[in-house]
Copies of this chain bind each other. A is one copy, B any other.
Amino acid sequence: MRIPVLGTDRQTRRPASEAAPPAAPPAAGGRIRLDGLGKRFGSGAMAVSGVDLDIAPGEFITLLGPSGSGKTTTLNMIAGFTDPSEGRILLNDQDISPLPPHRRNFGMVFQSYALFPHLTVAQNIAFPLRERRLDRAEITRRVGEVVELTDLRGKENRRPHELSGGQQQRVALARAVVFSPSVLLLDEPLSALDRKLRQSLQREIKRLHDELRLTFVFVTHDQDEAMTLSDRIAVFREGRLDAVGTPDGLYHDPGTRFVAQFLGESNLFEGTAGPDGYRWRDRVWPLGRGAAGTEGRHLVVRPEKLGVIPAADPVPSGHSTAPATVTDVSFYGTYQRVELRYDDESPGCVVRPAQATPSVTAGEAVLAHWRPEDQVFVTP
């Protein structure tokens, strides 16, 4: 099960005709630069605005963000389906606004699949290959390979409406990867699939990326998927880019309160920074590293960095503490999850080994504690 690599064996292509774009992008992934990109639909509010993003050739970047935050719109602008209202899109330092979509050589999986209802599964998948005038045998071979890969054997002669939702999504994916485009734009390509199939296709996508070094722009609402696959993650929020960074970087230093809360879980304390430390209610906590520029920021601790002890127990030395009440404790195989409500009524949670001591129970007054170096500050 391997995604076939088009463009590596160019000899099978017919002699260059006008079909080949004049400014053909290089075989490896392209560099994409979004420059102040914005989109307004009709006269409504901006659906996307001021997006600046530099995507290196061969990078795997994921657009992450809540529903309606502008991911699809951004992707559509890159693909050339939607005109930006503002800003530019550069491919390898060339403005590609005048380049129609079929000249861009980008593969795309649409969130709504956009399968051709009058074509069979095999014909849908063969579509981009026929447009590129590959010869018959080659087309059959490649289509066979991706059909295998996406586990669609036996469905080749069905029409899209005779497929299940997940099968349709796989056809959309197959059709986008079959021609090894220089840039792959994937809009939630795996959202309708069960975990096993999803993981296997994630592996394939990763492999495809690693082998060909194509540029991937991937949209997902699955954080784990984003974390596992991406070189970098761009977090959208209400049409704007809130943060861009590596998965680890963003997790450990989310920068904004929004990212902290959207990406994984956090314990967030809304206090004020002073010269003596961070003040939260009656407490003052040391600022730890990154003490500069903490004015007006919130303090964040990730759940697995937090410990929890009964309120009367001794606090580990050097740890900061926050009083809370346990609202729930639940066990998940090897770990347990303690839900808290801090004294300022804000919710929090701690994740710790299932066997961790001292054990706490719901309703108990506790202290959450952490090492100052495990805390980060975020803008509100």
A→B interface (CB under 8 Å): 41, 64-68, 71-73, 111-112, 162-167, 169-170, 187-188, 191-198, 221-223, 261-262, 304, 333-335, 351-355
**Are B72 and A164 in touch, CB under 8 angstroms?**
yes
**Complex: how many Å from CA A334 to CA B73?**
37
Instruction: List the B side residues contacting A167 at CB < 8 Å.
Output: 67-68
Q: How many copies does the complex hold?
A: 2
Rounded to whole Å, the gap between the CB of A201 and the closest CB of chain B is: 11
9 contacts between A and B (CB under 8 A): A65-B194, A66-B194, A66-B196, A67-B166, A67-B170, A68-B164, A73-B164, A111-B165, A193-B221
How far, in whole Å, are A162 and B42 apart by their CA atoms in the complex?
Answer: 10
In whole angstroms, how far apart are the Cα atoms of A188 and B198 in the complex? 15
Query: Whole-angstrom distance from the CB of A247 to the nearest CB of chain B?
Result: 12
Contact A165 B193 (CB under 8 A): no
Give the chain B neighbours of A111 by CB distance below 8 A.
165, 192
- Specify which chain B residues have a CB less than 8 angstroms from the CB of A68 in the assembled complex: 163-164, 166-167
Question: Is the beta-carbon distance between B72 and A262 smaller than 8 angstroms?
Answer: no
Q: How far is the CA of A72 from the CA of B334 in the complex (A)?
A: 34
State whether B352 touches A67 (Cβ < 8 A): no
With beta carbons under 8 angstroms apart, the residue of B166, B193, B196, B222 that contacts A262 is B196
Q: Are B66 and A197 in contact (CB under 8 A)?
A: yes
Is B112 touching A196 in the complex (CB atoms < 8 A)? Answer: no
CB of B165 within 8 A of CB of A304, answer no
On whether A334 and B355 interact (CB within 8 A), knowing A111-B165, A166-B68, the answer reads: no
Within the complex, what minimum Cβ distance (angstroms) separates A93 from chain B?
A: 31
Q: Which 9 A-B pairs have the closest CB atoms?
A: A67-B166, A194-B221, A304-B333, A111-B165, A353-B353, A68-B164, A334-B335, A191-B191, A66-B194
Is the Cβ of A222 less than 8 Å from the Cβ of B193? no
User: Which chain B residues border A262 with CB–CB below 8 Å?
Assistant: 194, 196
Complexed CA–CA distance, A335 and B352 (Å):
9
Q: Separation in Å of the A39 CB from the closest CB of chain B?
A: 12
Known: A221-B166, A353-B334. A261 touches B67 (CB 8 A): no
Residues of chain B within 8 A of A71, CB atoms compared: 164
B223 touches A195 (CB 8 A): yes
Measured between beta carbons, the chain B residues less than 8 angstroms from A221 are 166, 192-195, 198
Point out the residues of chain B lying under 8 angstroms from A335, CB to CB. 334-335, 353
Give min CB distance, A251 to chain B, whole Å. Answer: 10
Which listed residue, B192, B334, B354, touches A67 by the CB 8 Å rule? Answer: B192
- Residue of B at shortest CB range from A70? B164
Residues on the B chain within 8 Å of A196, using CB: 66, 261-262
Measured between C-beta atoms, what is the minimum distance from A152 to chain B in Å? 9
Out of B164, B166, B191, B353, name the residue touching A192 (CB < 8 Å).
B191
User: Which chain B positions have C-beta within 8 A of A67?
Assistant: 164-167, 169-170, 192-194, 197
Please indicate the chain B residues that have their CB under 8 angstroms from the CB of A222 in the complex.
195
Q: Please measure, in the bound complex, the distance between the C-alpha atom of A193 and the C-alpha atom of B262, giving whole angstroms.
A: 12
Measured in the bound complex, the distance between the Cα atoms of B160 and A181 in whole Å is 31
B188 lies within 8 A of A192 (CB):
yes
Cα separation A222 to B304 with both chains bound (whole Å): 24
A20 smallest CB distance to B (angstroms): 33
- Which B residues lie within 8 Å of A261 (CB)? 196
Measured in the bound complex, the distance between the Cα atoms of B164 and A71 in whole Å is 9
Residue of B with least CB distance to A150: B67
Q: Which residue of B lies closest to A351 (CB)?
A: B334
Bound-state CA distance A111–B165 (Å) is 7
Whole-angstrom distance between the Cβ of A354 and the nearest chain B Cβ: 7
- Tell me which of B72, B162, B163, B333 contacts A165 (CB under 8 A): B72
